[in-house]
Amino acid sequence: MSYNQTPLYFAGVDIGSTMSKVAIIDDEQNLRAAVVGPTGAEHRRKANQVMIEALGQAGIPLETVGYIVATGYGRLNVPFADQQVTEITCHARGVMTLFPEAQSIIDIGGQDSKALRVGNHKVLDFTTNDKCAAGTGRFLEVIAETLDLPLSDMSQISLKSSRPVQITSICTIFAQQEVIRYLSEGTDLADVLAGMHDATASRVVRMARRIGVLPPVVFTGGVALNPAMVKAMEDNLGFPVLVPSNPLITGALGAAVIARDKYHQLAARGRAPAVNARRLEEVDLFGGGAGK
Amino acid sequence: MNDKPQGLAAARLIYQDRTKRVKELKAQGRKIMGYVCLYPPVEMMTALGYVPFRIFGRYGEPVSAADTVFTPVVCHFLRSMIDQGMKGNYSFLNGIIGSHTCDIGMVAVHIWKDYIPEPNFVYFIDVPHTDHLPAQEYFKRQILDLKRKMEEFAGQEITDSMLADAIALHNRQRQLVRELYELRKANPSPLSGTENLEVMVALCSLPVEEGNELLQQVIEEVKERSREQFDERARVLVWGTVLDNNALLEVIEESGASVVIDDTCVGTRAYWDDVPIGGDPWEALARRNLVDLKCPRTYRQAAFGQLKRDYDTDLDSQFAYLKRMAKDWQAEGVILQSLKYCDSHGYDVPGIKHYLDTLGIPSIYIEHDYTEGSLAPIRTRIEAFVETIKV
């Protein structure tokens, strides 16, 4: 297969802590496939499965993919990628592709949250939470498990609140105890849940304000699918946020856009990667596989 | 021709086992004086024939013994240092001189005094937190008190000429270190940040004469390195708390950056300024360690007692040296790093960030906790920071 064969596609593979995402675009940057699958303990090394599904959705063979960029927490577990780029750069690129006017991005994922200031196709500044579940999707999951409620119900009930309670603890475990205490005192469930969403949003917004937040703000990550969180975020910021139709895929999309750039840069110098050398194999974490 | 390791290889061996050489010297009858942070004047130790040995914690070793005397929410470096003391790993020292570097540093010295039987000589030197003239005078009195206590302990007086000789040796070391750093102005730098740190750690684990000899070898070795082709890596300045271990610098250099200059205390801070010679040497020591030595634990106001709000002038009086460093070493970004719970460094971060922003130099602030485990989430942030510089 030669490099100048058309059409060419580009893929971004985003292995997050909870979900694995693949985006495939064509040379005009149209999205041809967007697949989201669980990461999990076993799937961590099975980025190939999500990729195979995405290739199926796009209806293309692997050999037509000119360049692949891996990103996210598990970016080193993608043996068929040509390059690794951090999720911070990829998210920014994906969001700026969808919303060129964006100035700030807030992303809340399964295990981390991040805030970025962007402009001129560049990341101007960014910050991330360190290693605490508060202010991440994991916090919402812990509360949902405690209350034995599906996440979607939790969000809908929360939206009915008229007087949200104040959750003051910033620690997930203490906040969980606070939620239980409110409920045992007979506080309305909607008000407790609204308070919990508010506490999460408030924590992330405070983190974002350390680097400055300018509208328009784009809210991404799995947690942006939760309408109660979108409302809490808007309440805390004091203005509306933009949410992409598929807020989970922005990192993978950005990785695909970077892959396209990279391919053209290399091709211009006659150094495009050999596309037929790739193998869609599982990663063996105990020797061999990626990085070996 | 002897086959003893020379230069960088010798530095690495000392870095990997820093007490080996001083223990050898001790067996031969030399006396070893431990010191905490940069405030106790090493020249006084050298003058009395002690080998000055800087006390660190033990990076990555879980703290167990110190948990009974130190809460976990304090500086992990000092916690680890006390832990090592309590485990008896510093019992080979003849004495220890600690200082009021910060509040936890002050407490740590006294915990050492109260809980760790060896060594018997533990001195605490008070250090003012500003650099005004009255503070300098006070600090000089502290140094003179230390002089009396050390003389009593050693059974020997420190004459002005003994001190002058020691100052000359240490100034020579500072000059050599600056010469080594000068070589890193080249692009690409012929010496990595991790190699440099190994040399710096070796220097504070050796008698000053041996350190100077090592430095000369290293400088020759680095000068002979052939220029590699153009380095695409981002040149960065690393600012912040004590780095006595390479783990963080490795993460930075593996992320596509090249550490070309630092503002840390096992680096430039220890060696950037000479002790002025010619005048009263005791006053010179006080001035050099309080005024010239730049650690955030000392606050530098633009003007003493001024009521006017002048944030920019204050920032410039505190951080203009960083601007010069960044410019002279062509740093494209600054990595501000701090051990968790370091108030002294933490409080300076918003000011430095603002200052660097106004200069158009990108920066990132990271916190870690004296273990490699704490570096895992930091790796992505540093890689992303390098990506933002290189785009």
- Find tokens 């003239």 and name the residue: B133
B384 contacts on A by Cβ (under 8 Å): 86-89, 123, 126
- Are A127 and A237 contained in the same domain? yes
Query: Domain for residue B160, yes or no?
Result: no
- Are A196 and A108 contained in the same domain? yes
Nearest C-alpha neighbor of A72 from the set A31, A114, A104: A114
- Residues B244-267, mean pLDDT to the nearest whole number: 96
- Residues B379-384, mean pLDDT to the nearest whole number: 92
What is the pTM for the complete model shown?
0.87
Tell me what ipTM this predicted complex has.
0.79
Nearest CA-CA distance, residue A128 and chain B, Å: 8
Which of A73, A85, A128 has the CB atom closest to B381's CB atom?
A128
Question: Greater confidence, A272 or B261?
Answer: B261
Nearest CA-CA distance, residue A187 and chain B, Å: 35
For the sheet with A83-84, list strands across it: A31-38, A19-26, A9-15, A65-71, A83-84
The H or E element containing residue A9 is strand A9-15
Query: Domain for residue A166, yes or no?
Result: yes
Nearest CA-CA distance, residue A124 and chain B, Å: 7
Query: Domain for residue B97, yes or no?
Result: no
Structure token digits, residue B265: 């205390």
> Which residues, listed in sequence order, are joined to residue A25 by a DSSP beta bridge?
A10, A31
- Are A72 and A108 contained in the same domain? no
A185–B contact, CB cutoff 8 A: no
Q: How confident is the model at residue A284 (pLDDT cuts 50, 70, 90)?
A: low
**Domain containing residue A231:** 103-242
Q: How far apart are CA B139 and CA B369, in angstroms?
A: 31
Q: Domain tally for chain A? A: 2
- Are A260 and A146 contained in the same domain? no
Nearest-5° Cα angle at A266, A260 to A272 = 90
Task: Check whether the bond before A273 is cis (ω within 30° of 0).
Answer: no
The predicted pLDDT at position A290 comes to 41
- Are A87 and A108 contained in the same domain? no
Would the CB atoms of A123 and B387 count as touching at under 8 Å? yes
Nearest CA-CA distance, residue B126 and chain A, Å: 35
Query: Domain for residue B138, yes or no?
Result: no
Would the CB atoms of B388 and A85 count as touching at under 8 Å? no
The residue of chain B nearest to residue A118, with distances taken between CA atoms, is: B388
Query: Domain for residue B45, yes or no?
Result: no
The predicted pLDDT at position A146 comes to 86
- Residues A108-131, mean pLDDT to the nearest whole number: 87
- Are A173 and A188 contained in the same domain? yes
B234 contacts on A by Cβ (under 8 Å): none
Q: Domain tally for chain B? A: 1
The predicted pLDDT at position A43 comes to 57
The residue of chain A nearest to residue B373, with distances taken between CA atoms, is: A131
Query: Domain for residue A63, yes or no?
Result: yes
- Residues B360-379, mean pLDDT to the nearest whole number: 89
Sequence-distant (6+) residues with CB within 8 A of B152 are none
- Residues A34-38, mean pLDDT to the nearest whole number: 90
Query: Domain for residue B171, yes or no?
Result: no
- Are A143 and A205 contained in the same domain? yes
> pLDDT of B294-314, one tens digit each?
999 998 877 777 777 788 888
Which of B362, B377, B384 has the CB atom closest to A88's CB atom?
B384
Which of A73, A86, A112 has the CB atom closest to B384's CB atom?
A86
Nearest CA-CA distance, residue B209 and chain A, Å: 44
B362 contacts on A by Cβ (under 8 Å): 125
Query: Domain for residue A51, yes or no?
Result: yes
**Domain containing residue B343:** 228-390
Residue B39, pLDDT above cutoff 50: yes
Query: Domain for residue B70, yes or no?
Result: no
- Are A199 and A232 contained in the same domain? yes
A89–B contact, CB cutoff 8 A: yes
- Residues A224-245, mean pLDDT to the nearest whole number: 95
Would the CB atoms of A73 and B380 count as touching at under 8 Å? yes
The bridge status of strand A83-84 relative to strand A65-71 is parallel
Give chain A's mean pLDDT. Answer: 88
Nearest C-alpha neighbor of B45 from the set B58, B32, B57, B55: B32
Query: Domain for residue B305, yes or no?
Result: yes
- Are A214 and A229 contained in the same domain? yes
- Are A40 and A71 contained in the same domain? yes
The bridge status of strand B363-368 relative to strand B333-339 is parallel
Give me the CATH number covering residue B322: 3.40.50.11900
Name the residue type at position B3: D
| CA dihedral sign, ordered B347, B353, B356, B362 | positive
Residue A26, pLDDT above cutoff 90: yes
Would the CB atoms of B391 and A85 count as touching at under 8 Å? no
Give me the CATH number covering residue A85: 3.30.420.40
Residue A138, pLDDT above cutoff 90: no
- Are A186 and A132 contained in the same domain? yes
The residue of chain A nearest to residue B363, with distances taken between CA atoms, is: A125
Nearest CA-CA distance, residue B256 and chain A, Å: 12
